[in-house]
Amino acid sequence: MQIIVQFLVRYARQNIPYYALGLVMLFITNYAVVRIPTLIGDALTILGEPGPSVVAQGQGLARELMLWAVIVVVARTLSRVLFFNPGREVEFRIGLDLFRHLLRQQRPFYMRRKIGEIVSIATNDTSAARLLVGFAGLQVANVAFALPLHVYRMWVTDWVLTLWCLAPVAIGGIYTRQTVRSFYGLIRHSQERLARLSDRILESYAGIATTRAHVGERAIVERFDERNQDYLSLLLRIARIRAFAMPALGFSGLVATGIVLWVGGDRVIAGHMEIGDMATFTTLLISLVGLLMSLAWVLAAISRGIVSLGRIDDVMQTPVELPPVTEADFELRAAPALELRALSFSYPDDPEPALADISISLAPGATLGIFGRTGAGKTTLINLLARVYTPAPGAVLIDGRDMIGVELDVLRRAMAVVPQDPFLFSTTLRENIRLRGERSRRGPDDDDAVARDEQDDDPRLQQVLEEACLVDDLRNLPSGLDTVVGERGVMLSGGQRQRTALARALYQRPHLLLLDDVLSAVDQGTEARLVAAIRGLQGARGEHHAGAPTTVIVSHRTSVLEHADEIVVLERGRITERGTHAELLARGGHYAETHLHQSAQGEDGAAHG
């Protein structure tokens, strides 16, 4: 109940005027619904008493009956609009708040939760919340008005008959209420299983290429069928409960109707009740039973909504694991200095440190190369610099300030990160490169060709295409920059995806550039051109110019790192070698051995080519 109150205060409070007017319309609707059977009964009573005024009275009743019928149509329509439209707005606001909260969450949050669960909460649970404040709210208010109005009118018409017929209806209502209570646990389990099913679908779709390559379709389908059958079985249990709950009310209504015909008919014959009152009473009873039968669906919607609000609240109440901002007025300069002081880091539930005692000092605009075997801690270091993970206080300084004290938005606006497995959106190549909203300011009705002409004149875009060696690739794409790259960039090769991600980073003109093995999928010729382009960020403006970004490059290829101002070699999270390319070669360590091996491979490849 507390969750519902908090939810209503936060999201439904601003729509109180709409709900208030909707309640007025509901009251008018139910008053009219009760008034119409009364008029029908009066008409039958008049017809049973012939006289000179029968026609005039009948015409008056007919006009009033038509008026109330029109009022029912108008008021009922308005009541639904006034309840359903705010429900849509509430769904939108919940989804927006949830998405913003998810964007602020850090990597550990997503390591603890399945993507399928998050997708299910963001879609199915927000929809259930909409039904709670829209459909369910409307029906609860409708019953709250209709029940006393119906019972009062029935009591006034014949209180004896009311007592006779309400007993079975009350018994059916109590049974339905007790039955629907079991919905709560079943619905919670069904939504959890739907989240598991969604996660399986997303995982299967993302790995479809691997599945086909290993001929694993049958195993994937079997695992999907298992979870799907599990979910179906639970839904069938819920359906069976509904199937018994609604007929229970229906049966109680039939029993009540039979009682009305039996007891009421006897009272009419005995002269204790008019035939018109009998018609009024029967019509009201049928309306009341139909209303109570819909209550089973309403209680199910409420149960689903409460469970969904709990799941949404569980995510929204998960705190964002960010340290307090202590450098509120800090702005990064064009090329920040970077310093690591005895940086150490361990992953949760892993006693072995991923990084230990890393100390590095990087001048503004300089380039740091990071080299090491797989699992040495290179990507972990990049993730700490990018604030994907939070380093220890005082371990990473940027322009002399503690990085964790800088506001995250300020920090990320000034940096660009290219991971070793870049993510591309299922949109055009152009939009993937211009990711940070550097788009043409045009209206939604402007012609796409006009937009393309505007963007083709973007010299910055053309420059980064050349720097990322994408110009030649564009000629082979069906629509050039406007080619849709597919889900996660599936239409592009691995090297093209890496170069697109690099172009995206260069387009942002970052102050701090972090490159995590971004040239692993390109050939040596393209690698040389890309290295020259990255070097050109400094060289074109003079070495260590204030306008050049401070750059950190991770690579397992020594040819990529040979022009770095300093290279550190990581081994099991520790620095084992450091120096320039020439100094490391002279030292004859692991870096030098790898360089000789890679150089020999390059010469063999050139000879065979």
**Confidence tier at 76 by pLDDT (50, 70, 90):** very high
Q: What is the CATH number of domain 332-414+513-523+550-609?
A: 3.40.50.300
Supply the pLDDT for residue 245. 66
**What pLDDT, on the 0 to 100 scale, is given for residue 539?**
52
Q: Which fold has domain 7-316?
A: ABC transporter transmembrane region fold (1.20.1560)
pLDDT mean over 466-478: 84
> Do the beta carbons of residue 480 and residue 474 sit within 8 Å?
yes
> pTM of the prediction?
0.72
Q: For 43-74, what is each residue's pLDDT tens digit?
A: 887 776 666 677 777 788 889 899 999 999 99
* 263-277 per-position pLDDT tens digit: 888 888 888 888 888
Please state, in angstroms and rounded to a whole number, the distance separating the CA atoms of residues 481 and 448.
13
CATH architecture of 415-437+452-509: 3-Layer(aba) Sandwich (3.40)
The reported pLDDT for the residue numbered 454 is: 46
Whole-number Å distance between alpha carbons of 82 and 134: 9
Read off φ and ψ for residue 241, nearest 5 degrees: -65, -45
What pLDDT is attached to residue 489?
A: 77
What's the pLDDT score for residue 184?
66
Q: Where are the domains of the chain?
A: 7-316, 332-414+513-523+550-609, 415-437+452-509
Confirm if 462 and 455 have CB atoms less than 8 A apart. no
pLDDT at 544: 47
Task: Tell whether the model's pLDDT for residue 547 goes beyond 70.
Answer: no
User: For residue 401, what are the β-bridge partners?
Assistant: 398
- Tell me the one-letter amino acid at 134: G
Closest CA to 386 of 516, 514, 501, 517: 514
Structure tokens given for 442: 């045009």
Annotate 21-60 with b (16+ C-beta within 10 A) or e (fewer): ebbebbbbbbbbbbbbbbbbbbbbbbeeeeeeeeeebeee
CA distance 556 to 217: 34
Q: Quote the pLDDT of residue 148.
A: 92
Evaluate if residue 601 carries a pLDDT over 80: no
- Helices (DSSP H) in 368-523: which residue ranges? 378-385, 408-413, 429-433, 448-456, 459-467, 471-476, 494-507
464 touches 507 (CB < 8 A): yes
- Please report the pLDDT score of residue 172 as a whole number: 74
Q: Give 555's DSSP letter.
A: -
pLDDT for the residue numbered 52: 67
Which is more confident, 601 or 255? 255
Check: CB of residue 585 under 8 Å from CB of residue 386.
Answer: no
Q: For 484, phi and psi rounded to 5 degrees?
A: -75, 125
Give yes or no on whether 7-316 and 415-437+452-509 have one common fold. no
What's the chain's average pLDDT?
82
pLDDT at 450 over 50: no
